[in-house]
Structure 1
Amino acid sequence: MSPSSFELVGCSRCGKFPELAPLVILEPVAPAQDLLHSNYLPPDSVIVRARREMAVAETGIAFIEEKMSDLERVLDQLRLRRQGLRDFVTNHRRVFTPIRRLPMSEIFRRTSLSDPVLHGASG
């Protein structure tokens, strides 16, 4: 990416910027909350509902992990883009340093003419 191009950084698959709006995820409902802290075996109907709710939770986990992965890719792209822009600014800022305004060739010429070491004089 060149520093002068400001293309939108987005999802590697769809090219769009990921939405940061709240995600709609189904919340699982514990069918037998009171049995979570006991050693009793729940009835078959509760086991079936619990497995169904666990599947809902696992789907939500997979969805969230996918969204996190998308965001991490976007963050990586943005970090690279930011570094490219920082490098651009740093490199171009050097052009305007005050030392560049000094007539260096004139300074070296005058210094070399007045320096007795450079002219072979011994002190």
Structure 2
Amino acid sequence: MSLADSPFVDRLNTNYVPSDSEILEIRALLVDPADELAKLDAQIEEMEITLSQLKKMRASVKAPIDAHRALISPMRHIPLDVLQEIFLSCLPTEHNALIDPAETPLLLGRICRHWRSVSYSTPMLWSSIHIPSLNYGSSPPTLLSKLERLVGAWLERSATCSLSVSLSDSTQHSNSHIETHPLISQLLPMSPRIRHLKLSGDAHFLQPLLQLGAEDLPVLSSIWIQPIASMIFDAHPEARNVSRYQLWRTYPCVFSSGLIHFHFH
């Protein structure tokens, strides 16, 4: 008997409690359908094994096909200078490039070996950088070391290009064990190439960079400063407007000969 003709159809999906005799009857009804289900399961398992084998065979055939197709890919035959221009057009325009593996330029180096070689040897791709906020008083040393290595490699790839640099740092001198900021120390040798500079952080750590003179920053054209603890206002708490002399004493870089834009927040 098919279960579709079962005398218990009206009792299905209810709270009905069958009697002992009905339980025996139900068990008898399930024998043939259960055997059929087992046969179907066996067939499905056999087909799944076959399907798995076919997928493996397909993958082994497809891999060399894809590899050969890659050889004739139009992208592979784009001239180097055109590819570099495409890469440069992928850079952000509203802010400096981020140290983010999902963003240009780091993303380009993750596509393939050729793109990595091209991107790493195109200095203009690395001519801007935003250094994110990490607290040297609380962040794990391994994370800080990794950031320093990334910044060092980034600046090295920029070769002799002029730089646009932004740094946002939350480390406070009073709450940290460091006297000089490692990231600021990395930027100091780059000062002759810095064209745009945006800094936010503890004035104590920013001081070595901001006290550079015009001769140290020959191409500087814009600077944006947001000190956490301003040396100017520590010395002159009575006034938000300081004299040109006071500003020069604190931030000589403000009077770089090529400076066009200056913003002090």
TM-score normalised by structure 1 residue count = 0.44
Structure with more of its chain in strand, by fraction: 2
